Structure 1
Amino acid sequence: MVQLFLSEPTWSDAGHDESVKERISLLNELESLIWSVLSSGGRSEARLWLCNTLSGISSLTPRHQREVFLNLLRSKPLKRGLAAQLLQMIFEKQPHKAGTIIAKKSYMLEHFFKGNPRRILQWFSNFAGSGGLGHRKGAKALSQFAFVNRDICWEELEWKGKHGQSPAMVATKPHYFLDLDVQQTVENFIENVPEFWSSNEFAESLKDGEILFIDTKFFGDFFVDLMYKEDSKEVWEVVTEFLMEESFSSLCHHLLIILEEQDFCIFLGLIRKFINPKMVSMNFDNPSYWLEIILSKCSDSESIEQLLLLNAVTSQGRQLLQLVREEEDQEEKVKIKDIVLQICTCSSDANSLAPILKECLNRKTMESITWLGLYSWSLHYRLSEECQTPESWESLFINNGICFQKSDKYAMLNHGFSEEWGSDSDERALRVGRKKKEKRRKKRRRDLDRDDCYNDELLDFDMSNNRICLQSRAGSWLLSTDGYSTSWSSVDLPEHLSKHCFSTWMKWVFSRWRDVV
């Protein structure tokens, strides 16, 4: 049976175990093999996993996150790709801020429309019909400018009919603008009416930023040039304000994925200067917390490879296990399985982890957490292999002092039934089922009062939401490991328990190590 080591050892009795060197050697070998798997095809995935963990960091203030990304944007060589991605976020979430800047440079958009019928029609063809609410976008700007400046530009309006329309006629019947040949008219304005492109009417139509979505790539490049070629104060102010307002999580998810590895390392170095994990809370249940500790304590010499691997074994155990199982090198897969078995076999005694924990007190932060992370992932691997039945899980709980209850939350199986299931007979069955379920719940509450650690449950059916809900003996459990707050299935248990072990061990080590680290 797998030992989870959830009882804190007696540190004074945790003498030097002769086999500790052997187990550390096994852990180091496992580290090497896992890294081989990651580097052979899973490095990009491991990088994405690390980005996800980084996004959960909570100790950075808005001012700090602004400084991190601004420093990265201004670092050499120029980060045009990063800037373009950030601007796309601004376009999507706050288009009016970019629109205000475009409106002040409206004259530059003459070249945006020149020789591009698609853009012309998208922006200037929004004339209202007889019952419409009014012209919109460029159509509104075109009509307003044409009326105000009819003495210089009315003749440039091209009409589809046999004859043109007079200003007086169109003034009384604005829907006549629907007969305007928009493409030819705008092309005429490009050639002969330069005043239009710097007019208040045209600028006003741009302020809401809707024009950005005609071609976001063009405007992304346009703003990147304003940032780096013209060093536009207005653009940098918009960027700075956005970096203060947007959540750190959102910025990480959108921006880190496009960074080259060298720039990613620069980013890690930048946040290291600002993060300040609260050692009092020791929130090791959150993978981002220990990562904050690592980054705040490690030096620039620490390699990104160590971070990628450590993050993989401690916060992405299930994904890493899947990656290992998909590994094409069969010999390497067999080696990993064998080493994991040796690690777990060497640790069959309930107090056999104590020497490793004590050894961690004398090692660097990164090295110690790597050992415990690899140990916890080994447990993840073994649990997924060894515990295949409800009986095996319950035996594991009992042997490791974990109180449990059979969950009353049902695993839902969606068989794709049609809407015809929503009949009156089904509704009656649903009401009867709910009454029976309520009776069972009352009985379960009485049973739980007598026994906090165990409760079994019979097969149950629920027709709600056009689905059949089944709860068999192979269902799920509520565990004392998280205060009975979540229903854990056999699929999720290996990951939950391995993370719980890692969190528990880290609390022990850091409670004794706090003065050192």
Structure 2
Amino acid sequence: MVLSSIYRKICHSSDKMVNLYLSEPDWNCDGGDGSVEQRTSLLNNLESSIRLLITSQSRSEARLWLCKDVSGINSLSRRQKRELFSTLLKTSSQKRDLAAQILQMIFEKQPKKAGSILAKKCDMLEDFFRGNTRRILLWFSKFSGTNDTEHRKGAKALSQFAFVNRDICWEELEWKGKHGQSPAMVATKPHYFLDLDVEQTVENFLENVPEFWSSREFADTLKDGDILSLDMKFFINMFLRLMYKEDMDEIWETVNEFLMEESFTSLCSHLLIALNESELCVFLDLLKKFLDLNAKPKDPGDACHYLEVILPRFNGLDSIDELLLLNAVINRGRQLVQLLQEDEHQEEKSQIKDIVQKICTLPENPNCLVPLIKQCLKKESENMIKLLGLQSWALHYFMSSVYWASEDWESVFNNNGIRFHHAGKHELLHDKMLTDESDSDSRRKKKRKHRKKRRNFARDDSYDDDFVDFGFEFNKTDFQSKGSCWLLSTDGYSTSWSSADLPEHLSKHCFSTWMKWGFNRCGDSAS
């Protein structure tokens, strides 16, 4: 008990407060006291610092964040999704790379579709086998033994064709024994094919039996698509030629069907990484045509929905840096905080931390966001979104940068009108809204039951103080992750939030609340 008391005194040495601006402001306020200009100036400084960090030093990481978040968009119909990617396959400078990725996905997930096309072009496989012992043996050596029911894959095609066309090709069969086998003998004992010199026989067929390579027997063994696994790169290149040089309709139909069936998330995950930055901008310009320009913010945790709000306002190549910035501060707040912890970013961390400290300790003004939000009425919603995103991320970083004891968090909840329950072993320790006698009786019963458990624990010599469950060390990160958790009114008490997760949750809740105000004001103005 003494140890826990000392710990609380050390950790709770200063009173912390942060205004989340969750109470709807006075929309008639013009913010003429100069504090708004000061806040806007600091937010612009913060933007410059973050922009430098993510668009130069960590650009590739910021691009990956953007691509991953774009892949979460789920509002496109099947036909829109097909149109988006098929347009890219026909117009992009990277179209062959994209097509190669899609073909590989088809080969892996739906090999029969590719196999049915391959069966119609089976004569093209002469070059695939010519002079390649490994491929020949892998495909044509699957003859049955005495206990097997039938030959498989290329061996099946070879044996069937040889029997049907024995008058023109039986002499091309090479046997390992001293003498060859007759058709009649092999017909009664199919396992004799195990004595066939497969490599030399196939080479003979390549030179002297061209009919085999376009035969029904050979084509039928290709339809399941198993042959694709022998050398996927070869078949991808083959299909690319058929797509772009011969413009084979059946391949385009198969690709378009696949684009409709495959999820948008999967397609983006495989394809966007193949695009250079200019092509990524082309993709985003195509994508925004399918998004609702009038989309409004929904849930605070729905990162991809914010992109659906932002992308229709995105202006292409000249604004990729802006989009990387917006996505980082709105959807990747935690990753951005973590990025600043890396050794190579200590200078940027110091600068950003100083700006954030100033933003979050400005004199309280409940109407400070009004002028920012009113920019929406001037059709400058892109700038409004950016400034509100920067403000919410500043709160995220401020709440993440130092240790906050349980009392600090509860003070934040109380002062910002957030009702809360304690989560964990105790079902309910605090709820500002529950004051009736029945709840008080319930809490007293729980308290008596808890004291009884404490007495039982006291009999165990290993139980020394309150921190036994935490494996106590003076480590604030470890304590935060294992300490108090709360259920909050911000999400209808649906999730238990720990100290480690509160900065992200609260900042997103703030941003969502402010965005709804802004877009509602836009709607009121339009009407």
1:199 aligns with 2:215: yes
**More displaced stretch, 365-374 vs 351-360:** 351-360
Which residue of structure 2 lines up, in the alignment, with residue 241 of structure 1? 257
Superposed displacement of residue 303, structure 1: 0.6
- AA paired with 1:489? S
Q: Deviations over 1:327-386 (max 9, x none)?
A: 514322211110111111116454443443344544612111111111111111111123
**More displaced stretch, 18-27 vs 179-188:** 179-188
Pick from 498, 503, 514 the counterpart of residue 489 of structure 1.
Answer: 498
| TM-score for the superposition, normalised by structure 1 | 0.85
Counterparts of 2:188 and 2:124, CA distance in 1: 33
Counterparts of 1:181 and 1:365, CA distance in 2: 75
What is the DSSP-based 3-state SS (H/G/I as helix, E as strand, rest coil) of the residue aligned with 1:276? coil
**More displaced stretch, 5-14 vs 140-149:** 5-14
Counterparts of 1:354 and 1:345, CA distance in 2: 18
CA distance 1:169–1:33, shift in 2 (3 Å): same
CA distance 1:444–1:326, shift in 2 (3 Å): closer
Q: Deviations over 1:3-29 (max 9, x none)?
A: 111211121245334121221111111
Asked whether the equivalents of residues 106 and 198 of structure 1 are also in contact (C-alpha less than 8 Å), the reply is: yes
Q: Deviations over 1:476-510 (max 9, x none)?
A: 22211111111222222211111111111101111
Superposed displacement of residue 110, structure 1: 0.5
Which residue of structure 1 lines up, in the alignment, with residue 187 of structure 2? 171
Q: Deviations over 1:44-70 (max 9, x none)?
A: 111111112211223222111211111
1:506 aligns with 2:495: no
Which residue of structure 2 lines up, in the alignment, with residue 155 of structure 1? 171
Counterparts of 1:515 and 1:273, CA distance in 2: 26
Pick from 72, 76, 99 the counterpart of residue 83 of structure 1.
Answer: 99
User: How much is the aligned-residue C-alpha RMSD, in angstroms?
Assistant: 3.0
Which residue of structure 2 lines up, in the alignment, with residue 365 of structure 1? 381
Which residue of structure 1 lines up, in the alignment, with residue 158 of structure 2? 142
CA distance 1:60–1:16, shift in 2 (3 Å): farther
1:399 aligns with 2:415: yes
Matching of residues 467-478 of structure 1 within 5 Å: 474-478=483-487
Superposed displacement of residue 135, structure 1: 1.9
Superposed displacement of residue 118, structure 1: 1.4
1:258 aligns with 2:267: no
Structure 2's unaligned 5+ residue stretches are 1-16, 458-467, 471-478
What is the DSSP-based 3-state SS (H/G/I as helix, E as strand, rest coil) of the residue aligned with 1:368? helix
Which residue of structure 1 lines up, in the alignment, with residue 232 of structure 2? 216
Structure 1's unaligned 5+ residue stretches are 410-439, 462-468
Kindly tell me the number of residue pairs found equivalent between the two proteins.
478
Counterparts of 2:375 and 2:294, CA distance in 1: 24
Counterparts of 1:204 and 1:347, CA distance in 2: 79
CA distance 1:387–1:352, shift in 2 (3 Å): farther
Pick from 393, 418, 433 the counterpart of residue 377 of structure 1.
Answer: 393
CA distance 1:356–1:225, shift in 2 (3 Å): same
Superposed displacement of residue 285, structure 1: 4.0
Which residue of structure 1 lines up, in the alignment, with residue 352 of structure 2? 336
- AA paired with 2:287? I
CA distance 1:146–1:390, shift in 2 (3 Å): farther
1:55 aligns with 2:71: yes
Q: Deviations over 1:220-252 (max 9, x none)?
A: 111111111111111111111111222222211
Counterparts of 2:389 and 2:148, CA distance in 1: 65
Superposed displacement of residue 76, structure 1: 5.1
Which residue of structure 1 lines up, in the alignment, with residue 205 of structure 2? 189
Counterparts of 1:18 and 1:358, CA distance in 2: 16
Which residue of structure 2 lines up, in the alignment, with residue 130 of structure 1? 146
CA distance 1:407–1:76, shift in 2 (3 Å): closer
- AA paired with 2:505? H
What is the DSSP-based 3-state SS (H/G/I as helix, E as strand, rest coil) of the residue aligned with 2:397? helix
What is the DSSP-based 3-state SS (H/G/I as helix, E as strand, rest coil) of the residue aligned with 1:160? coil
Q: Deviations over 1:238-269 (max 9, x none)?
A: 11111122222221111111111111111111
Counterparts of 1:198 and 1:369, CA distance in 2: 62
Superposed displacement of residue 302, structure 1: 5.3
What is the DSSP-based 3-state SS (H/G/I as helix, E as strand, rest coil) of the residue aligned with 2:421? strand
What is the DSSP-based 3-state SS (H/G/I as helix, E as strand, rest coil) of the residue aligned with 2:344? coil
Counterparts of 1:225 and 1:470, CA distance in 2: 65
Superposed displacement of residue 305, structure 1: 0.8
Which residue of structure 2 lines up, in the alignment, with residue 450 of structure 1? 439
Counterparts of 2:373 and 2:296, CA distance in 1: 20
Matching of residues 405-416 of structure 1 within 5 Å: 405-408=421-424
Q: Deviations over 1:418-457 (max 9, x none)?
A: xxxxxxxxxxxxxxxxxxxxxx879999999727xx9999
CA distance 1:475–1:136, shift in 2 (3 Å): farther
Asked whether the equivalents of residues 418 and 490 of structure 2 are also in contact (C-alpha less than 8 Å), the reply is: yes
Counterparts of 2:322 and 2:368, CA distance in 1: 26
What is the DSSP-based 3-state SS (H/G/I as helix, E as strand, rest coil) of the residue aligned with 1:484? coil
Which residue of structure 1 lines up, in the alignment, with residue 86 of structure 2? 70
Matching of residues 263-274 of structure 1 within 5 Å: 263-274=279-290
Counterparts of 1:350 and 1:441, CA distance in 2: 34
What is the DSSP-based 3-state SS (H/G/I as helix, E as strand, rest coil) of the residue aligned with 2:497? strand
Q: Deviations over 1:83-124 (max 9, x none)?
A: 111111111221111111110000000101111111112211
Asked whether the equivalents of residues 298 and 365 of structure 1 are also in contact (C-alpha less than 8 Å), the reply is: no
Counterparts of 1:161 and 1:18, CA distance in 2: 100
Which residue of structure 2 lines up, in the alignment, with residue 419 of structure 1? none
CA distance 1:481–1:304, shift in 2 (3 Å): same
CA distance 1:179–1:301, shift in 2 (3 Å): closer
Which residue of structure 1 lines up, in the alignment, with residue 44 of structure 2? 28
What is the DSSP-based 3-state SS (H/G/I as helix, E as strand, rest coil) of the residue aligned with 1:488? strand
| TM-score for the superposition, normalised by structure 2 | 0.83
Matching of residues 103-118 of structure 1 within 5 Å: 103-118=119-134
Which residue of structure 1 lines up, in the alignment, with residue 248 of structure 2? 232
CA distance 1:121–1:238, shift in 2 (3 Å): same
Counterparts of 1:382 and 1:442, CA distance in 2: 29
Q: Deviations over 1:123-170 (max 9, x none)?
A: 112222222242221121112112212222222222233333332232
Pick from 299, 311, 324 the counterpart of residue 308 of structure 1.
Answer: 324
CA distance 1:329–1:54, shift in 2 (3 Å): closer
Asked whether the equivalents of residues 170 and 177 of structure 1 are also in contact (C-alpha less than 8 Å), the reply is: yes
CA distance 1:148–1:310, shift in 2 (3 Å): same
Which residue of structure 2 lines up, in the alignment, with residue 430 of structure 1? none
What is the DSSP-based 3-state SS (H/G/I as helix, E as strand, rest coil) of the residue aligned with 1:128? coil
Which residue of structure 2 lines up, in the alignment, with residue 421 of structure 1? none
Pick from 479, 486, 499 the counterpart of residue 488 of structure 2.
Answer: 479
